[in-house]
Amino acid sequence: MLAATVRVAGDIDLAEECVQDAYARALTAWPESGIPSKPAAWLTTVARRSAIDSLRRRHTHDRVLPKLIEPEGATDEPLDEENDIVDDRLRLIFTCCHPALAPEAQVALTLRLLCGLTTDEVAHMFLVQESTMAARLTRAKKKIATARVPYRVPSPDELPMRIDAVLTVVHLLFTTGHTAPVGDELIRRDLVERSLNLARMLRTLLPGNPDVAGLMALILLTDARSASRVTGDGTLTLLADQDRSQWNRHEIAEGLSLVREALEYRPPGRFSLMAAIAAVHAEAPNWSATDWTELVGLYDLLVTIWPSPVVALNRAVAVGFAQGPETGLAALDALANEPQLASYGYLSSARADFLGRLGRVEEARIAYKDALRLTENEVERHFLSRRLEQLE
């Protein structure tokens, strides 16, 4: 709805207001007239008409119209064709990821506007306070308006320069869906499926781009394990304990093919390396057969080209399984002063696991409590609580 309304409004804030107004009208009209046969089309039509009316009331229609990529799109006809929806989402992604915006603002704005994440969820992903993220989003929207950023998909010669920010958005969208930062469910299928759809769209746009292939492979290979991550009673299952017969072999086969394609290009990009890491797990017939030495080598390459604290954390965990928990714990403790990991619960939970394996029960107990304090997803909290009880 938002993506379709922006095309008419030419202004993100106005489009958001019109979308909210459409929902408010539905709450009034639907109880009396009944839910329409195409609710989404009804809501989108009302939002677009509201945008057109607002433009007319403000007497700015003639000024705004030339900025639109498709002036004839400013109609009040229902938008229910899948191709139109896909096109509008791509336009909005590339608008939010315009180089006029700072990279972190590009990612945050797209996650907030296109993917339906709350400001708090986006802030959690960036490991910052909600107020900080709210201010960042406001500044980004103002920048789009003042810089008159066009609402369109870049031309073919512009795409390679603009693609990295978009891939980052799609990756963060997937990670948020794969493990929801808050809530009662571990997985948000809507976000996972949207990220995969966006990856496929980008693959169509840039069929020979190794980073696009790598990202799509990463999503497929990681999502292939989803069915085994939570038991029937909602309990989290670690990779070591998952029933691999439940893994989606079709996604694994497609993902492995894409990994091989992406790795043909040198040097490999970060998404290609992350996909290669996922492929090692996907190809291992069981946990004990996992090639941790190869994984450490891949993480060494990844942390070189993408020196992220989270990548360093994942590398430390791999080191622990390859060389023993004491070595892994030392690698984790070396990250203790990383500001971005101060509120990242996975650091504490990884330390707790290695401490428990080393028999340092009291330290493990403290680490599990720290992880619980920093974790807001209820499925993960339940898992950590059980681990703490078992430690007791």
Name the token pair of 159.
């795409």
- Please give the pLDDT value at position 64: 52
- Please give the pLDDT value at position 283: 96
**Tens digits of per-residue pLDDT, 230-257?**
998 889 999 999 999 999 999 999 999 9
Structural domains in the chain? 1-80 (no CATH), 307-392 (1.25.40.10)
Higher model confidence: residue 93 or residue 77? Answer: 93
**Tens digits of per-residue pLDDT, 9-66?**
877 888 889 999 999 999 999 999 999 998 988 999 999 899 888 888 776 545 555 5
Cα separation, 91 vs 134, in Å, equals 23
Asked whether the beta carbons of 308 and 272 are under 8 A apart, the reply is no
Q: What is the Cα 276 distance to its own chain's centre?
A: 19
**Tens digits of per-residue pLDDT, 324-375?**
999 999 999 999 999 989 889 999 999 999 999 999 999 999 999 999 999 9
Taking the model in full, what pTM does it have?
Answer: 0.76
- Please give the pLDDT value at position 59: 60
What string of DSSP letters covers 257-286? HHHHHHTTSSS--HHHHHHHHHHHHHH-SS
**Tens digits of per-residue pLDDT, 127-139?**
788 999 999 999 9
**Tens digits of per-residue pLDDT, 179-235?**
998 889 999 998 899 889 889 988 887 888 999 999 999 999 999 999 999 998 889
Residue with tokens 């993220």: 133
Task: Report which residue type is found at 309.
Answer: P
What string of DSSP letters covers 72-131? GG-S-S----HHHHHHHHHHHHHHHT-TTS-HHHHHHHHHHHTS---HHHHHHHHTS-HH
Mean pLDDT (the chain) is: 87
- Please give the pLDDT value at position 86: 61
Higher model confidence: residue 90 or residue 36? Answer: 36
